[in-house]
Structure 1
């Protein structure tokens, strides 16, 4: 793994926007919304054709923005590296791309993407009255059914084939319902497995210490720098590795992994051999030949073979194999023309006729004063409390990041850092803040939504929105009472629990958040202690959610959950300021 990049540390903040803008230079039929990091097909008519929108974290290029174009995606939205885009980003992309024909969101099955895209879809239905449906793609076969019983199969390179099929359907005038019906057929016929020689290096971050030995290969690699499902040591030959990968893809006798039966019609299969980032074209092509030969030995002669770079994990030194069961209809959509830059087959595009320019405006701002709602709070104490919580969390970021590189994708600490830094700017000394508890916590909720992506960002956003909503109903004009603070905290927790089935015992930040909220009635110092205990118990705990599910248990056995560590850091900071005094 190389940690050398042409893009230097001072340019990391513009890396993703610059990469997205480059697409508009390559294809003038694309437009670029810099604020929300979204790419649009200018020729798409959303009133005549279903809008197909996708997206996710950066680092998977050409996915997803390079699949925007006639015949594939109408729009794509990007988060930061390996982090889901925020709800406001997705919502604005949907709003700007959608029309009377309706919208289909194609989402890889990861917790953060599911949270954010589902929330954005719901928001669009409510605010715009639009028909917006979500298609979640899960094609990973490396993990057993029992292992992923709660979270489902990960979305991997097979998602690109879903883009192509649904995008072609939309271009041919099919309805939302027709797209949804065929998406279920495609999803049921997808199977992907990856393998890698090592980790990737995330620009701007230190090298992870969790490296793959030179004598080993990781099987079941994801696309977020997480550990594989299985470490193969000693390293098998390429032939043996491919045999094992194809067995996982094709063997229906294994009740834990036989996800797709390709034996029903072995002549109706397409194969995608995907470069995870850093394989040479020469090596990938040789691997492709060996895969096709081995499929032939199993009686499968692929109708189409796609070999290239479709969905990466930055500079990942590996590849994945995807098989899709097809019929004549699905094959026709795969063969349909597209102008998307990232699709492998030759394509042409024409500059669309000039249409009325579209302005990608920010989400409408509610100008009604929030200070008229709910009870009061002492601004000076609130400022100190927020500052204490945020600075405590910022001090913990290096440790959180270190542990997350072992059991996740390394973004948990940086996500928390972005949120804390944004919130701190709202409460800096010299900036006037109101005495309205509701107003202040709505501002915090908005700051979190704008700055924190990924799963943890969604959870913090849900918590503070639920917290704020309860404060809105507090005694107008009066000082917020202890019981009202408790009720708001409980409402915040319930808002999170209403979206995710994760609970204490599932190795998530809920292991710290739940005991903190549940014992807050007994005093802040006791609640902080219970949060600390909850986070500590996650060491060795079997995960049920998040990327830790996909990591070999050797990685998380002695490592606490990074999200729970973040919660502890926040409440410890609160405790240092507030224990012994009233925020009101």
Structure 2
């Protein structure tokens, strides 16, 4: 129910003024809430559209060269009145005529239709130069239910705008523009899916909600009820199959509005529309699944369009539209003509990117071009003094991290972005899998450390993964250096570990500005390394108690992060007083503490 605005009453006018700032080629009739092309070419057919606001970029976002000439906007989800529409018809008056395109909603049809008839009555000489097209593409409304009013108009309307507008821009006659708009309107089918209803600014709390496990198929763009509710929410592949059945199944006499032939004869334009509140990440995944589902049914996709075309304010959901392309029948436009009209460039902020080519059946996968990209690292294996102890220590640390995931996640939900525990869990699980597959072995410590660095990079990712990967990569380098400079070295010694740890920390410092105390994972890591003795030679004997004392220093540093002001890392973006109030340690630092304790040093 939250919105960012001055006040609900001025929202539509403020929005249209902003659109004119984005597209200076437009003029704004503030009193009538109309945007129109400033330097209109009066030798070409004009296209007028409109309806209630709240569906942006429809309708105003498609005004510009190559699509619409003017858009008339009502208040949120409310049709503009007839006098507003008459003003728009006057503004776009031209030598060839005007086509009005509206969605099939009662208010829009009545008010735009009334304006057309009033204009014809007062301008008898131009009465035949204003045509009227109604688009109803919603298959959720069956024939019985919509017996009188017909189907609702949804995102398929935008394809009517684009195809008719591009033809008008080419200089076609009024009849040709009108006919192609009518043909397109007869060939589009749309179904919407919502996870929740939207909220109209300035109104009270909505009276109905969907549960957290529920999805609604066929929801209208004004919060109208849908065709059916599903709970639990099915996987996308299963959901997409149900949606396509509603769009193309010719056995469903209630919804077989568009004459799909099947048997591999159909070609379509696929339009995936964001209803306002779904992430681009999800929408692209929906594109992938819808493309796959169509191809499985033998339907050829000639173009894919994806983005926000006709929204329902901030509704979390999407709609899928299919435009059935010409099959060579009589009185049909040519297929290349329709595709070229979709591909024609336009100067409107609402129309989305189009590749102007059919999508590939599968994404083009990159192929390594350099032999070095597939070369395996080479080094001389260097065993641990007791290989079984090396592996058991690693296993113990990994299991401790996995067990601590809920605790670290809870810390990170306050002090960060909530993913630190899951990231460490993923890394630890991958290390255990590598131990099981013998990719990590006590017979090859250097190779094992290199493998752990790779796991941190690939399985953990993010900042933590990069830091861990740099650390272990540096550690491997230092162990190899000690191996190369040491005479007759047959196994990794405690002195070699200490030297490698100290030099790896120096290398890590070249990639992060964090220095203790910083409330980051560097705090316990540095405390551990700094507590280790400075050796004069790599052959110096290391007291076993040294490791335990260093771990204690690391634990103290991790605990102290509860009291520290964040200077770097994830917590630097969290309000300082909250961290002190909650007394939450840094999640990354806590992870290092868990690892060191788990190693049993």
1:234 Cα shift?
Answer: 3.5
Could you say what secondary structure the match of 1:92 adopts?
A: helix
SS in 1 for 2:52: strand
In the TM superposition, residue 44 of structure 1 has moved relative to its aligned partner by 1.7
Contact 2:268 2:300 in 1 (8 A): yes
Aligned 8 A contact 2:72 2:88 in 1 = yes
Aligned residues: 342
Q: 2:301 maps to what in 1?
A: 302
Q: Per-residue deviation at 1:263?
A: 2.8
Structure with max Cα Rg: 2
Task: Give the Cα separation in 2 of the matches to 1:172 and 1:65.
Answer: 21
Provide the C-alpha distance between the structure 2 equivalents of 1:6 and 1:188, rounded to a whole number of angstroms: 38
Task: Verify: 1:256 aligned to 2:254, yes or no.
Answer: yes
2:25 corresponds to: 29
Change beyond 3 A, Cα 1:159–1:150 = same
Residues 72 and 167 in structure 1, CA contact (< 8 A), matched pair in contact too? yes
For 1:468-547, what aligned pairs fall within 5 Å after superposition? none
Indicate yes or no: 2:340 matched with 1:332.
yes
1:421-432 alignment runs, 5 A limit: none
- Per the alignment, residue 437 of structure 1 pairs with none
C-alpha contact 1:31 1:42 (8 A) present in aligned 2: yes
- Aligned to 2:300, the other structure's residue is in SS state coil
Question: Higher relative contact order by CA 8 Å / sep ≥ 6: 1 or 2?
Answer: 1
In the alignment, the residues of structure 2 paired with residue 316 and residue 303 of structure 1 have an alpha-carbon distance, to the nearest angstrom, of 29
CA contact (8 A) 1:67 1:343 kept: yes
Counterpart selection for 2:132 from 104, 117, 134: 134
Tell me how far 1:85 sits from its aligned partner. 0.5
1:175 deviates by 1.3
Is the Cα contact below 8 Å between 2:266 and 2:324 reproduced in 1? no
Deviation per CA, 1:123-153: give whole Å up to 9, x if none.
1112233221110001111121111110111
Question: What is residue 349 of structure 2 aligned with on the other side?
Answer: 341
The residue aligned with 1:167 is: 165
Write the deviation string for residues 343-369 of structure 1: whole angstroms up to 9, x where unpaired: 01279xxxxxxxxxxxxxxxxxxxxxx
C-alpha displacement of 1:266:
4.1
How far apart, CA to CA, are the structure 1 residues paired with 2:260 and 2:348? 29
Quote the Cα distance in structure 2 between the aligned partners of 1:107 and 1:266: 31
Tell me the SS of whatever aligns to 2:14: helix
Distance 1:295 1:346, change over 3 A: closer
Query: For residues 106 and 230 of structure 1, what CA distance do their matches in structure 2 show?
Result: 29
Alpha carbons 1:272, 1:323 under 8 Å: kept: yes
Distance 2:222 2:236 in 1: 23
Give 2:208's aligned residue. 210
| Match for residue 118 of structure 1 among 97, 102, 113 | 113
Mapped partners of 1:74, 1:186: distance in 2: 19
* Equivalent of 2:234 in 233, 236, 255: 236
8 A contact 1:70–1:340 mirrored in 2: yes
SS at match of 1:305: strand
> 1:54 is matched with which residue?
49
* C-alpha distance in structure 1 between counterparts of 2:92 and 2:260, whole Å: 36
**Aligned-residue offset at 1:267:** 5.1
Residues 139 and 189 of structure 2 are in contact (CA less than 8 Å); yes or no, is this contact kept in structure 1?
A: yes
Q: 1:97 and 1:164 mapped to 2: Cα distance?
A: 18
Shift in Å, 1:330 = 1.3
Q: Is the 8 A contact 2:193 2:317 kept in 1?
A: yes
1:303 shift after superposition = 0.4
Q: Hey, what does 1:78 align to over in structure 2?
A: 73
* Superposition deviation, residue 184 in structure 1: 2.4
**1:267–1:303: 8 Å Cα contact kept in structure 2?**
no
Q: Name the TM-score, length of structure 2 as normaliser.
A: 0.56
How far is 1:340 from its partner? 1.1
Correspondences of 1:401-412 after superposition (within 5 Å): none
- Partner secondary structure for residue 322 of structure 2: strand
> Aligned partners of 1:113 and 1:22: how far apart in 2?
24
- Helix, strand or coil for the counterpart of 2:301? coil
CA distance in structure 2 between the partners assigned to 1:4 and 1:188 by the alignment: 38
Q: Of 206, 218, 221, which residue of structure 1 is paired with 2:219? A: 221
What residue in structure 1 maps to residue 268 of structure 2? Answer: 269
Whether the aligned pair in 2 keeps the contact of 1:49 and 1:173 (CA below 8 Å) is yes
**Contact 2:217-2:229 within 8 A present in 1 as well:** yes
Deviations 1:2-47, CA, capped at 9 Å, x for gaps: x111215xx211100010011111111111110100001113223x
1:362-401 per-residue CA deviation (whole Å, 9 max, x = no partner) reads xxxxxxxxxxxxxxxxxxxxxxxxxxxxxxxxxxxxxxxx
Match of 1:152 in 2: 150
Distance apart, 1:179 and its partner CA: 1.5
- Cα distance in 2, alignment partners of residues 211 and 104 from structure 1: 39
> Distance between the aligned counterparts of 1:7 and 1:337, measured in 2?
33
Superposition TM-score, scaled by structure 1 size: 0.57
What is the correspondence of 1:435-450 to structure 2 with a 5 Å cutoff?
none
Find the counterpart in structure 2 of residue 69 from structure 1. Answer: 64
Give the conservation status (yes or no) of the 8 Å contact 1:170–1:179. yes
Which residue, 165, 168, 183 being the options, matches 1:185? 183
1:82-97 aligned at under 5 Å gives the runs 82-97=77-92
Residue of structure 1 equivalent to 2:36: 40
Q: Which moves more between the two structures, 311-320 or 25-34? A: 25-34
Secondary structure of the residue aligned to 1:303 is strand
| In structure 1, C-alpha distance between the alignment counterparts of 2:4 and 2:41, rounded to whole Å | 39
Q: In the TM superposition, what whole-angstrom CA distance separates every residue of 1:440-495 from its partner, at most 9, and x where no partner exists?
A: xxxxxxxxxxxxxxxxxxxxxxxxxxxxxxxxxxxxxxxxxxxxxxxxxxxxxxxx
- Equivalent residues of 1:108, 1:159 under 8 A apart: yes
Aligned twin of 1:413: none
CA–CA distance in structure 2, aligned partners of residues 98 and 248 of structure 1: 41
Runs of 4+ in structure 1 deviating by more than 6 angstroms, as ranges, are: none
